[in-house]
Amino acid sequence: MSLSPGRLGSPSLGTDLGVSVVADSDRAPKPPARRPSLRRRVIPPLGVLALVLAVWYAVSYLLLSPMRRFLLPPPQSVVSGGFLTWSNFHQILTSLGFTARTAVLGFFLAAVIGMALAVLMSQAKWLEQALYPYAVFLQTIPILAVVPVLGFAFGFNFGSRVLVCVLIALFPIITNTLFGLLSVDEGLHDLFTLQGVSRVRRLWALQLPAALPNIFTGLRISAGLSVIGAVVGDFFFQQGQPGLGELINLYRAQLEPDPLYAAVIMASLLGIFAFVLVGFVSQRVIGSWHESTRVADRRKPLTPLRTNNKEK
């Protein structure tokens, strides 16, 4: 179609140039976003896993003598003693469930508190100046030094374990959420100002949707940190049902390396599962509208414009 008078003021400009502007509906349809093949997604992690197992075997059999091999038992011993021995595996699964419950509750509280503080700081500069230094201070405190103090102050119980998770997982949520809320384009802010939109409406309709990628980035980081907090809390707060941290400490004291390494592996898998789960939710919530979630090849050539002059 040619350029209309209402667009450039010259009805013959498009035909004089021999080029017609192509509407979006006239362009060739965009190919769907190409996701990496299953082979490309699976082979690299499996290659790294094979390398780790090779190094593990080399250290266990080549560097350690049979008398000192209990320091790093070979993988088949860990599988046999930690996963295939039902008494040990049942104990690990029971402790895993308790640690997971602690991590989930701590992560939920950290998400609520962190996002609430970030929203407050984004609405008033003096609130950010008043609260943010304490968030940084909270992040810089060695958690292993704070845990015994929390035990004396709040008791060596389940609540103290959850509090450790909150303290560890809080800072990434605050910083990423605040960064997202303050990074909205100024032009969009001006548009909302011209429309006379209230502060609450601006927050709900503009700032929070724009900050979603940053919010989920903080949540992914904190999901793994909450598992670390739960395990650390188990080491110190040993009242009630034992978690993975207390179980690891028990295996260490009893010199049982096979279930010890199995418990460590299960704790790592719990953290990986939490990270992947939050990432999956992020993909579902954000979709493909944000640049960080697009997987299409950006080097595709642009769709050419059609010309009125036919090639002979």
Angle among Cα 264, 266, 270 to the nearest 5 degrees reads: 115
> What's the angle, vertex CA 96, arms to CA 91 and CA 97, rounded to 5?
105
Domains of the chain, by residue range, sit at: 1-31+304-312, 36-72, 73-293
pTM of the prediction?
A: 0.77
The band of 25, judged by pLDDT with boundaries at 50, 70 and 90, is very low
Q: Which of the two residues, 180 and 11, has the higher pLDDT score?
A: 180
Please report the pLDDT score of residue 233 as a whole number: 87
User: Looking at residues 233-249, what average pLDDT do you find?
Assistant: 82
pLDDT-based confidence at 295, cuts 50/70/90?
very low
Candidates 154, 28, 168, 24; CA nearest to 107 is 168
| Alpha carbon 126 to chain centroid, angstroms | 29
pLDDT band at 155 (very low <50, low <70, confident <90, very high): confident
280-304 burial, b at 16+ Cβ within 10 Å, e below that, comes to eebeeebeeeeeeeeeeeeeeeeee
Inter-residue contact 219 to 173 (CB < 8 Å): yes
Select the CATH number that applies to the domain covering 73-293 from these four: 1.10.540.10, 2.40.128.280, 1.10.3720.10, 3.30.1330.10: 1.10.3720.10
Query: Model confidence at 153, in pLDDT bands (50, 70, 90)?
Result: confident
Q: List the beta strands (DSSP E) in 164-287.
A: none
When pLDDT is cut at 50, 70 and 90, the band that residue 292 belongs to is low
Which residues partner with 307 through β-bridges?
A: 19
pLDDT tens, position by position, 111-149: 999 999 999 999 999 999 999 999 998 888 888 888 888
